[in-house]
Amino acid sequence: MLNSKKNIRSLSLNELKEFFVNQGDQAFRGKQVYEWLWKKSARTFEEMTNLATPTRTLLDEHFCINHVEISDEQKSNDHTIKSAFRLADNKTVEGVLIPTKTRMTACISSQVGCSLSCKFCATGKLDRLRNLDADEIYDQVFLLNEQSIRNYNQKLSNIVYMGMGEPLLNYRNVLASVEKVTSNDGLGMSPKRITVSTAGIAKMIKKLADDEVRFNLALSLHAANDKKRDYIMPINEQNSLDSLSNAIKYFYEKTGTRPTYEYIIFKNYNDEIKDAQELALFAKVTPCKINIIEYNPIDEGEFQQASSEKVDRFVQFLESNNLIVNLRRSRGKDIDAACGQLANKLAK
């Protein structure tokens, strides 16, 4: 059960200062507590050792800390680690730490479940139970950073909002979590090391542009043909490729940030040269990058992995059209931690 007390991390720094002033204390006490909550990610008030015992008791009387904890973890043969995060209300989301020679990437979730029902994604088969709060998203990053240091003696270098849920359907909390992750009061990471991935909600992509975000944007495209995309991603029925193209152009013009297109390649569905031609035409609207991703099978899934020959031809065609293309090999497939496979199996 969630604690009936107010979650202290929902308060701003100024609100914390105001609380202490109203209690007859000094405003700087709020700054001390704020640092414990974010930079040090304290899980209890007792951990706040530079506060007097009466102050800690006062905080405990008024507030709670709805901290997230890792309830289980599983390591892949390729050293990828999948974690189950238990939330304060005992719901669970999953996140993944992906180590490579050049980077340490945390893949984190923004919702409990998902409402989009993409046909190739295990998370899409779950119900969307609720949005994650900003502090719950932040905790995933903090915990995976600790995990990275503990296992590989390296801090996180990159964060991708590509786990469970659609980030742009939890817009306010996602942006608030990015603000905390990049703040000097938090983890102090560069926004250019953060990528938010969306299945494609045109009006929210434009809102990102209007809000002048500094992080990277990835669009999960997977087909550059409305009929094919409608079938695998029902969200396309309300967000056609034309509307997404206009939104992406607007985003690039306002922010100067090149979008990334994520394209999972499925056997005999979107793996022909004609599909590559459609993708190239869509992608040339602005400077961009394209990630071609191996398909990762899911339980009761209807798709299969495309042959390596077709994938190579597909990539070569795009490159011959002067597009920047990366072929992403699956990581953590043996523990269901690869792209599209997160389905809370650890929690079962």
Q: Which residues are catalytic?
A: 94, 339
Helix (H, G, I), strand (E, B) or coil at 145: helix
Q: What is the rounded distance in angstroms from the CA atom of residue 273 to the CA atom of residue 122? A: 28
Q: For residue 202, give the nearest of 236, 155, 226, 231 by alpha carbon.
A: 236
The C-alpha torsion from 262 through 266 and 268 to 272, rounded to 10°, is: 30
In degrees rounded to 5, what are phi and psi of residue 230?
-55, -40
Reported as half-sphere exposure (CB side, CA atoms, 13 A), residue 98 has a value of: 23
Contact 157, 179 (CB under 8 A): no
In degrees rounded to 5, what are phi and psi of residue 325?
-130, 135
Beta strands in 87-154 (DSSP E): 92-99, 104-107, 111-112, 130-131
The DSSP secondary structure of 3-49, one letter per residue, reads -SSEEGGGS-HHHHHHHHHHTTS-THHHHHHHHHHTTS--SSGGG-T
Encoding tokens for residue 137?
């998203």
Q: What is the rounded distance in angstroms from the CA atom of residue 145 to the CA atom of residue 348? A: 25
Q: What is the rounded distance in angstroms from the CA atom of residue 283 to the CA atom of residue 152? A: 36
Contacts of 36 (CB under 8 A, 6+ apart): 42, 47, 48
